[in-house]
Amino acid sequence: MPYIPHTDEEVQEMLAAIGAVSIDDLFDEIPDALRIDGLDRVPVGLEESAVSRLMQSRAATDTGSVSFIGAGAYEHYIPAAVWDVATRGEYYSAYTPYQAEASQGSLQLIYEYQSMMAALSGLDVSNASLYDGATAFAEACLMAVRANRKTKSRRVLTTRGVSPLYRAVANAIMAGQGIELVELPNRHGVVDIAALAEHAGEDYAAVAVQQPSFLGTLDDVDALCDWASANNSLLIGVCNPLSLAVLKPPGQWGTHGADIACGEGQPLGIPVSSGGPYFGYLVCRQPLVRQMPGRIVGRTVDLDGKPGFTLTLQAREQHIRRSKATSNICTNQGLMVTAATIYMALLGAEGLRRNAQACHHNTRRLAAGLSALPGVEQVFDTYFHEAVLRFDRPLEPVLDALADAGIFGGYPLGDAYPELGQCLLVCATEMRTADEIDAYVETLGRLLSDSRAA
């Protein structure tokens, strides 16, 4: 029997010790009407080798394409050491480190992770992770509403550069508590700082900005940060952690720095993997720490005065504070944080910088090549590692034809940004070779001219 160690003899001896005749007896407290004899609509079990063949064939169905999609999930090279070590059973099959003495490995690793995220973001304190970038954004907004003692406002003013997927998730999560997002209009892909004056004097718990934005563009975060502070709002920065190796980190924005930063941790050693598991990161200034949701590890000493690590500030959390907790979060994304910590240790600041620069240059090369084609133009000039291209025709047939040629051409923006109809968001990370980029340009050129000729 798969994964069941009992022999028939042992089963009989164990039943005798219990004083039961059969295993059926052990379910005698379940009312007869509720007991079932078996499961319908579930197939019979397969041997490991058969499941292996099945999964190999399913995985093979999905391979063979080259992706130029980013939009919040980025394909980066992951050194072999990262997942080799992270999937060791001692990490993979450990529980949440509530028994600190038997969990020093996970606890110290999380402390190192918190330290690395603080260093990258330029802020003081990190938690041990949230589910993904979108829920981290929602939790950052909820945290700001709780933490801002200067206002009772339940509104957060957000740029439309914050991922539309994140805004959708935040709306779904915050709706029950009556907390709402108010959107600032975009101009040339960024917020028009002069237009902020219209909102002066209005009451917002926080202002949220994504840098680089979902469109790859860069906002005047210094001005936004100072504006927020002058209006008694906290400032939430949403950042791709890879970009923080080269772009000004939230802790250094404006005169005082951002109050909270959050985002998607996936670019730090996590495969794109159909959307998950990833992890959300959340960092903040020290005075806000008690409003931060999720687990936090602290360094302390043991009875002998020897340094050690433990979960701390647990009175914020649901298992103690129940209905008054900062969030209902319990399980986080510990295994992903394990991989990300090893990834950051291996790459260091220099490795991250090189990757960030390589992505930037690859995307520039791609955008230059594609926008040189007739019927394609580049929309914004200043961007990090994603570019927006406007086409002179509907995108869907173009993207379908590209996919048939083994190329995922990018993310169409029209649904989320009606003002960017027939616009495509493209990304070429350091994984894309010059040949692959050139092949995309050449294939698209052929497709566009064929359909023009037709």
Partner 1 sequence: MHEPLIFEHSQPGRRAPGLSEARQSALNLPAAFLRGDVPALPEVSELQAVRHYTRLSQLNFSIDTHFYPLGSCTMKYNPKVCNQLAMLPGFTGRHPLGPASHGQGFLSCMYELQEMLAAVTGMAEVSLTPMAGAQGEFAGVAMIMAYHRARGDDARREIIVPDAAHGTNPATAIMCGCEVRELATGPDGDIDLEALRQAVGPQTAGIMLTNPSTLGVFERQIQEVARIVHEAGGLLYYDGANLNAILGRALPGAMGFDVIHMNLHKTFSTPHGGGGPGSGAVGVNQRLAPFLPVPVVGKEGDKYRWLTETDRPQSIGRLSAFMGNAGILLRAYIYMRLLGAEGMRRVADFATLNANYLMARLASAGFQLAYPRRRASHEFIVSVKDLTRETGVTAMDFAKALLDEGFHAPTTYFPLLVPECLLIEPTETESRQDLDAFVDAMVAIRQRAFQDPEAVKAAPLTMPVRRLDDVRAARQLDLAWPVEQSA
Partner 2 sequence: MSETPDNLKYTSDHEWLRLEDDGTVSLGVTDHAQQALGDLVFVELPESGSQFTAGDACAVVESVKAASDVYCPLSGRVAAVNERLQDEPELVNASPYDDGWLVRVEPDEPAALEELMGAEAYGQFLAESED
Joined tokens for residue 439: 């092949």
Distance, CA of 36 to CA of 27 (rounded, Å):
11
Counting contacts by CB under 8 A, is residue 331 touching partner 1? yes
The helix or strand, by DSSP H or E, that contains position 33, with its residue range, turns out to be none
Among 193, 196, 199, 277, binds partner 1 (CB under 8 A): 277
Counting contacts by CB under 8 A, is residue 314 touching partner 2? yes
Counting contacts by CB under 8 A, is residue 321 touching partner 2? yes
Q: Is 95 helix (H, G, I), strand (E, B) or coil?
A: coil
Residue 105 binds which entry of partner 1, partner 2, none, with Cβ cut-offs from 5 to 8 Å by kind? partner 1
Binding mask 345-364 for partner 1 (x = CB under 8 A): xxxxxxxx-xxxxx-xx--x
Instruction: Choose between 256 and 354: whose C-beta lies nearer to partner 1.
Output: 354
Judge whether 87 and 316 are in contact, CB under 8 Å: no
Counting contacts by CB under 8 A, is residue 152 touching partner 2? no
Start-to-end CA span in the chain (Å): 62
Residue 439 binds which entry of partner 2, partner 1, none, with Cβ cut-offs from 5 to 8 Å by kind? none
Q: From its phi and psi, is residue 187 left (phi > 0), alpha (psi between -120 and 50) or beta?
A: beta
Partners of 187 in beta bridges:
190
Residues 6 or more apart whose CB falls under 8 angstroms from that of 62 comprise none
Instruction: Choose between 6 and 187: whose C-beta lies nearer to partner 1.
Output: 6
Number of C-beta neighbours around residue 255 at 10 A? 9
Instruction: Choose between 108 and 378: whose C-beta lies nearer to partner 1.
Output: 108
Adjacency order of strands within the sheet including 234-238: 125-126, 280-284, 260-264, 234-238, 206-210, 155-159, 180-184
Piece of the chain touching partner 1 by CB under 8 A; list 144-152, 198-206, 229-237, 312-320: 312-320
- Minimum Å gap between C-beta 296 and partner 2 is 13
Residue 149 binds which entry of partner 1, partner 2, none, with Cβ cut-offs from 5 to 8 Å by kind? partner 2
Piece of the chain touching partner 1 by CB under 8 A; list 105-113, 188-196, 371-379, 435-443: 105-113
Among 149, 152, 176, 306, binds partner 2 (CB under 8 A): 149
Binding mask 74-103 for partner 1 (x = CB under 8 A): -x---x-x-xxxxxxxxxxxxxxx-xxxxx
Sign of CA dihedral 427, 431, 435, 439: negative
Adjacency order of strands within the sheet including 423-426: 376-378, 387-391, 423-426, 411-412
Instruction: Choose between 265 and 376: whose C-beta lies nearer to partner 1.
Output: 265
Piece of the chain touching partner 2 by CB under 8 A; list 315-323, 358-366, 375-383, 432-440: 315-323
Q: Compute CA distances 380 → 45, 190, 233, 309, 394, whole Å.
A: 54, 10, 29, 47, 20
Sign of CA dihedral 422, 410, 396, 186: negative
Among 41, 152, 306, 324, binds partner 2 (CB under 8 A): 324
Instruction: Choose between 255 and 453: whose C-beta lies nearer to partner 1.
Output: 255
Distance, CA of 366 to CA of 399 (rounded, Å):
16
Site for partner 1 in 250-269 (CB under 8 A): 252, 264
Distance, CA of 416 to CA of 211 (rounded, Å):
18
Distance, CA of 369 to CA of 441 (rounded, Å):
6
Counting contacts by CB under 8 A, is residue 57 touching partner 1? yes
- Minimum Å gap between C-beta 367 and partner 1 is 11
Piece of the chain touching partner 2 by CB under 8 A; list 93-101, 310-318, 346-354, 423-431: 310-318
Among 320, 368, 372, 403, binds partner 2 (CB under 8 A): 320
Pick from 409, 386, 406: nearest CA to 398: 409
Site for partner 2 in 256-275 (CB under 8 A): none
Instruction: Choose between 151 and 443: whose C-beta lies nearer to partner 2.
Output: 151
- Minimum Å gap between C-beta 308 and partner 2 is 15
Among 143, 147, 156, 169, binds partner 1 (CB under 8 A): 169
Judge whether 179 and 209 are in contact, CB under 8 Å: no
Residues binding partner 2 (CB under 8 A): 149, 290, 314-316, 320-321, 324
